[in-house]
Structure 1
């Protein structure tokens, strides 16, 4: 873990933590939050991408931390490193797709369990470890990047591991919202759209810039009334 001293920004500056920030939606969220004058803590796995490293060289209020979201020791190390630091927003963005086509013949139990570890279990473990940081905020929010493929109303074939992991993540966040209601912590899963990333492919509907812009705009407008509900990147409520 990169354990340098976190910079202290303006007391009115909000701080957001984004997991999986080396590329795709996580990288663009990091970039846009910085442009909006947030202090950003961006996590990466193994080694930061050149794009993320470049951002760190250009922005005073960007902090990079190595985090393996499926390793409890790594998560506890993150919490220890951030002890006493106010977090206003956590964006659980780190996620993986099916390691193969995810069809009926190719799916293995090991692959399925690994997909669940990253997409379903990790968002809860990271969020739980940082609750004390969120409680220091006057407007704390937990956002988990989900998918419409996890909706029971969405039809499709294959991608068993991905679909089921996102459906389970939605339920986890719905329950977490109820558990944290007394703390006034907003919890919402968000469908980011079909995005032109390595995961979404070049034929996807929207760009990563469009997705991140919509997600951030939605985050800005969330209130406790919205907690425990499933939204799309453009602010529409999604069926579970």
Structure 2
């Protein structure tokens, strides 16, 4: 009986540990400081704003070929709302995947490469990475696109949201010593204001990243809910097993 109790307790601890460590593992990787996105997959208003931001700014060049238009009903939108406000292609059907109208040959000719599909971008990179990346562009005259990024150096994609955020430049503010060598310390300084304040732009990007996180795994919020219920059941079952064990063995000497 003691062995069974230890096994049940070990299983419970392992389940809790796996649930707690999953987000940290997914977010790890690049040696850069990442700002916390603080997304909320249960905030349907944020997800709806993010969906519009994605379709307006990203779907022109990038596809989301594993995401159907119909899945947007999971964030509180009706079929009529989706068709009227988000499906700008008159030939698209409600059950179709969210693909770009940009022809791959044209993309190769105009951009030098075909823009990657973004369905799983948040699962691959992590929400914090995307949130920081979309706020880390700066003007770089040496870059073919005229833009660069602190999180993704020499990025090929230009800053498509610069009208909203404005234009930043990288300036040297000091130096530091790394492994015996002096390196410049830089920061981004605002050169030209955008149509949004920094706070408004951060909120806009947070909504966009929130939606992209949902898009990468539409059942994630439901999975987390089920996981919590299962863990609570295991806790109750563990203590119930202890009570049964004590009751069963109380007369055994």
**Shorter-chain TM-score tier:** under 0.3
Q: Which has the larger radius of gyration?
A: 2
How does the TM-score come out when normalised to structure 1? 0.23
How does the TM-score come out when normalised to structure 2? 0.22
Identify the structure with the greater helix proportion.
Answer: 2
Which fold has the larger relative contact order, with Cα–Cα distance below 8 Å and residues 6 or more apart in sequence? Answer: 2
